[in-house]
Amino acid sequence: MLIKQGKKGLDKKFERIPLEDQPGPKSQEEMDEMKMPYEEYCRKVFDVGNEFVKPTALKGIRWLSTTMYIFTPHSVTNLAELGAEVIKIEMPRMGDPMRHTSPFNEAYVYPLHDTRPMTGTGVACFNANVNEYYISMDYHREEIKEAFYTLVRMSDGLTQCYRPGTFDRWKQSYRYLQEINPRFISVWGGGFGYGPKIWGGSYDILGQAHAGLASITGFHEDFGGHPTKSTNWNIDWYSGTQITVAILAALLWRRKTGLGTKIEFSQVQASTRCLEYGVPLYGRFGIVRQRWGNWDTQLCVHGIIICGKSDYPNDKNPQLRDEARYVMVSAFNDPDFKELCNVIKRPDLYEKYKTHKQRVEAEAQVEIYHELEKWAADKSRSEVTRILKDAGLLAMPVYNDKEVYESPHFRQRGTVRWQADPWYGDAVVHSTYSAGLMSKTPRRKFWDLRPVGGDNVKIYHELLGIPLSTIKEWYEKTII
Amino acid sequence: MCDIIWCKKVKEDGTVCNTVNYLDPFNFWNWEGTIACAECGTVYYIHMIQGWMYRGPEEQPPGTKPDILPVYADKPLEGYVRYRPGVEGRTRPYLCLPRDIYLGVPDPRRFSIRGYPVRGWPNQPPSTGIAGSAGFKWEIEKLSPEVWQEFLEKKKKGEVRDW
């Protein structure tokens, strides 16, 4: 019989352990779950596409976002996807410059604002500001200061991306805001942070270049390569997520101490975190790490090769017609490498480079990859993938956006899916689930974007209680 | 970065036009044709390849009809005198329209690739709320009934897919 010592342990009183405290399933449903195959269990607990019936982890947190572009907005959109109420503050009638930025400075969804019916928003804004309420505010105007401070009093924190000291000059920085709300968490995200380069702005390419990341990305000059930036702004997305981690830690700290925090986040600093062994290597030996492109300095074969034929030879889009020719191949341990050499009919290569230590050397890699590409020269990408997979080796095509969209794996897990944005209509989206599945409090997306100032009445009137006549006056004076 | 046509045409009153007509790279990156000066209307022939002025600007005889107008022009020697986008007969409106892959043809979308409506074209009706406040939902049946009808027809024809 299951027994445990009572609360008054010394009186030697024994009692039954309540059912809910006993290990194991507590209900028929839980019992069924335990008997399920793991795959089926995952599908049931994550229940992709049905996230709206579940609770949110950050419900009750209110955050202000005075951010622009991708880097700092993404730090806040993470909170909004997890259930925080986020108020995005934009410049009146203009909005976040990201709306006008890309791709190719062209607009794809309309309208932007009542005063600009012919102007729209670029789709690059999508996924960076989801689930947020959009208000407009010109901080320079005295009339709006009180509303800003009231929002601070009612909120848990703020993320901003203005140049260091700008919010301080406007009396909106941490040291001013903590006076009116000691629990307030104030985040600055930007290029360099305090230090000799304090005035440097922040761009993704700057993060990639200044942090040393671009210098080890791309092929070496000996192979015709150059330091390369990633085409998309992945350091913006990455650094934004790093800020979210800091915010969540600050929220926990506040729960323990009741006090807010100032978070200062330099983008160029954040991306040094990706430098891997480069910095310690320099510290130990004074050696500067070299670029090694699509190959790997630690493993061979473990890289991307080019095939001779495209999978879409007749497509009008050059990205498909000419570029769908790359395959990632991995066969670095001895039996796999032996099999790979047999497949490409070069068993002598295996004899030459029998140990991994031999084949990971630079000269060996040059020869091995050259032979692999020679073998693939008369084959398409899918042929190469099929042949290698049939031989039990790891090979995957380098996917483009079309193939990511069509991937059944991504579709089943909700990574890529169609969702009707309530304001802008049908859109294929890749946020929320791409940041991980959560069984109890999954991320969710209600909407992607709203027009500039689309929630002015909701926030200024319904939340702050400002009379509609004042709101109208502010609007006419372009204060909001 | 864009190229310009600095019009040096001497006008009837003897003054020099001195207007800078901006050739935005989105339209003129690969482009051949005639363009009119926003100030004096002088027509120039240009041929641009990969953003580089391969031929021109060559002044055309008076009366030549221009293929296009600049989107923006200004007179830097006269302070802040400028022609913003959409001045009738001088500059063309900047519609901010996405184009079919760089063919120079505007391609505003009303439907996504799976056939559902998207709000992808200007000029959208203004919001009904105060201070630019927008409702939660795009009431397509009310605001864009023609697109809604087109959608229903597409649906009937089986042109609307899940993916």
Q: Name every residue whose Cβ is closer than 8 Å to that of residue A162 and which is 6 or more positions away in sequence.
A: A66, A188, A190
In tens, the pLDDT along A428-448 reads 989 888 889 999 999 999 999
CB contact under 8 A, A424 and B101: no
8 A C-beta contact, residue B56 and residue B50: no
Percent of chain A with pLDDT over 70: 96
Q: What is the pLDDT at residue A352?
A: 96
In tens, the pLDDT along A263-274 reads 999 999 988 999
8 A C-beta contact, residue A110 and residue B120: yes
Has residue A217 been placed in a domain? yes
Q: Is the pLDDT of residue A364 over 50?
A: yes
In tens, the pLDDT along A68-115 reads 999 999 999 999 999 999 999 999 988 999 988 866 556 678 888 888
Task: Show residues of chain A in contact with B72, CB under 8 Å.
Answer: none
How close A423 gets to chain B, by Cα (Å)? 5
Nearest-by-CA chain A residue for B147: A425
- Looking at per-residue pLDDT, the higher value among B86 and B6 belongs to B6
Which domain CATH number covers A87? Answer: 3.40.50.10540
How close A314 gets to chain B, by Cα (Å)? 16
Q: Is the pLDDT of residue B102 over 50?
A: no
Length of chain A: 480
Residues A452 and A352 in one domain: no
Has residue A106 been placed in a domain? yes
Residues A217 and A364 in one domain: no
Residues of A contacting chain B (CB within 8 angstroms): 104-111, 113-115, 117-120, 136, 317, 411, 418, 420, 422-428, 450-458, 460, 468, 471-472, 474-475, 480
Strand, coil or helix: A270: helix
Residues A233 and A118 in one domain: yes
How close B37 gets to chain A, by Cα (Å)? 24
In tens, the pLDDT along A330-354 reads 999 999 999 999 999 999 999 999 9
User: Which among B99, B125, B133 has the least Cβ separation from residue A457?
Assistant: B133
Q: Is the pLDDT of residue B97 over 60?
A: no
Has residue A442 been placed in a domain? no
Q: Which runs of consecutive H residues, i.e. helices, occur in A393-479?
A: 401-406, 408-413, 456, 468-476
Please report which confidence band the pLDDT of residue B10 belongs to, taking 50, 70 and 90 as the band edges: very high
Instruction: Name the maximum alpha-carbon separation found in chain B.
Output: 66
Q: What is the pLDDT at residue A1?
A: 44
Residues A91 and A12 in one domain: no
CB contact under 8 A, A420 and B127: no
pLDDT, mean over chain B: 87
Q: What is the pLDDT at residue B98?
A: 45
How close A201 gets to chain B, by Cα (Å)? 20
Strand, coil or helix: B3: strand
User: Which among A105, A426, A452 has the least Cβ separation from residue B112?
Assistant: A426
Has residue A357 been placed in a domain? yes
How close A407 gets to chain B, by Cα (Å)? 11
List the domain range (segments joined by +) for residue A11.
3-35
8 A C-beta contact, residue A149 and residue A180: yes
CB contact under 8 A, A452 and B101: no
Percent of chain A with pLDDT over 90: 73
Has residue A346 been placed in a domain? yes
Has residue A77 been placed in a domain? yes
**Which of B96, B99, B111 should we substitute to test contact with A (largest number of A Cβ atoms within 10 Å)?**
B96
What's the per-residue H, E or C state across A101-155?
CCCCCCCCECCCECCECCCCECHHHCCCCCCEEEEECCCCCHHHHHHHHHHHHCC
Q: What is the pLDDT at residue A471?
A: 97
**Which of A110, A429, A459 should we substitute to test contact with B (largest number of B Cβ atoms within 10 Å)?**
A110
Cis peptide before B123 (omega within 30 of 0): yes
CB contact under 8 A, B122 and A117: yes
Q: What is the pLDDT at residue A142?
A: 93
Residues A78 and A223 in one domain: yes
Residues A66 and A31 in one domain: no
In tens, the pLDDT along A174-206 reads 999 999 999 999 999 999 988 888 888 888 999
Nearest-by-CA chain B residue for A455: B133
Which domain CATH number covers A322? Answer: 3.30.1540.10
Report the Cα A299 to chain-centroid distance in Å. 27
8 A C-beta contact, residue A307 and residue A244: no
Q: What is the pLDDT at residue B141?
A: 92
Mean of the pLDDT values across residues B11-30? 88
Q: What is the pLDDT at residue A155?
A: 97
In our burial notation (b when 16+ CB lie closer than 10 A, e otherwise), range A425-452 reads bbbbbbbbbebebbeeebbbbebbbbbb
Q: What is the pLDDT at residue A316?
A: 80
Has residue A289 been placed in a domain? no
ipTM above 0.90, yes or no: no
Residues A90 and A162 in one domain: yes
Q: What is the pLDDT at residue A216?
A: 93
In tens, the pLDDT along B49-76 reads 878 899 989 999 999 999 999 989 999 8
Instruction: Specify the number of domains making up chain A.
Output: 3
Has residue A338 been placed in a domain? yes
Question: What residues does each domain of chain B span?
Answer: 3-83, 109-156
